[in-house]
């Protein structure tokens, strides 16, 4: 037996051990609304009002008037009492799931009636990605539709 044979045997055993199947960690898709943050109520309101077009960059300071003005606009849009104060109902509305498109902003719309007059939508996924398992993709769509329904 040559001195290299035990060394070759060790490498073969290590190679087989490293090729052993490892437990599969499930892929988790996290939606932005699922994230929990440690923002204060005021920070949440400032971020929300800026993100959805109720305040501008220049107003992101300790200016209470711009915060109050943005809150009034939001409360009017949501048919809440227009107090300009960060109350419980306004905070609940801010924490509710919603799309990421700003409510206010400079954009152009088409003329005419653009309302979708149907209540049922049919869809299918023609090609699944190879990067994620099918059940993860199906779950992501189900959760997204649950937010929009």
Could you list the residues known to form a binding site for Zn(2+), using ranges.
99
Measured in whole angstroms, the distance separating CA 125 from the mean position of its chain's CA atoms is: 21
Q: Distance between CA 62 and CA 67 in Å, rounded? A: 8
How far is CA 143 from each of CA 7, 37, 82, 138, rounded to the nearest angstrom?
A: 54, 20, 32, 9
Question: Which segments are annotated as binding site?
Answer: 99, 131
Question: Which segments are annotated as binding site for Ca(2+)?
Answer: 131
Rg, the chain, Cα only: 27
């Amino acid at each position: 037996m040559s001195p290299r044979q035990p060394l070759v045997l060790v490498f073969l055993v290590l190679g087989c051990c490293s090729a052993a199947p490892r437990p599969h960690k499930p892929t988790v898709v996290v939606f932005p609304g699922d994230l929990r943050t440690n923002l204060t109520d005021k920070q949440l309101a400032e971020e929300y009002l800026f993100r959805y077009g109720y305040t501008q960059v220049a107003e992101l300071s300790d200016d209470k008037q711009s915060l109050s003005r943005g809150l009034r606009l939001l409360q009017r849009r949501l048919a809440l009492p227009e107090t300009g104060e960060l109350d419980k109902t306004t905070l609940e509305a801010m924490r509710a799931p919603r799309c990421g498109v700003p409510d206010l902003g400079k954009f152009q719309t088409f003329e005419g009636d653009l309302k979708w007059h149907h209540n049922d939508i049919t869809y299918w996924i023609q090609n699944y990605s190879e990067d994620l398992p099918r059940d993860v993709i199906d779950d992501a769509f189900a959760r997204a539709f649950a937010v929009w329904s």
